[in-house]
Amino acid sequence: MGVANRNQQAWVDASTFAERAAAQAVEKAGLQPGDITAIVTSNTTRWAAPGLDVHLVDKPGLRPDVRRIALATVGCTGGAQALTRAADLVNRTPRRPRHRRRL
């Protein structure tokens, strides 16, 4: 399998996994996709434009104005930074009992 094929498969795997994980997190939290105000993505397997954030906004039915923070091509630290950014967003969001949940 050449580099181009591996890159394509990496995108398919990453986008499929991200979509599934996002849908499960929203369901587990008892929310609807439209309740989500921000998403943070990190993908170190493959550089892609548009990135996972653009893919996710369309697929699970998130609002088109959802805040997106894409940490792509930043290596392994991207995952740690994604968690940090997500925690910052949750902690700085005004409290709304039903909607302020960590996914």
Note the pLDDT of residue 60.
63
Q: How many domains does the chain have?
A: 1
Residue ranges, the chain, pLDDT below 50: none
Residue 41 lies in a domain: yes
Residue 65 lies in a domain: yes
Q: Tokens 């959802």: give the residue.
A: 66
Residue 9 lies in a domain: yes
Residue spans of alpha helices (H) in 3-100? 3-28, 52-58, 77-92
* Global confidence as pTM: 0.73
- Contact criterion met (CB below 8 Å) for 38 and 89: yes
Note the pLDDT of residue 96.
57
Residue 101 lies in a domain: no
Residue 56 lies in a domain: yes
Note the pLDDT of residue 24.
92
Residue 87 lies in a domain: yes
Range of the domain at 19: 3-92
What CATH number has the domain bearing residue 73? Answer: 3.40.47.10
Amino acid found at 4: A
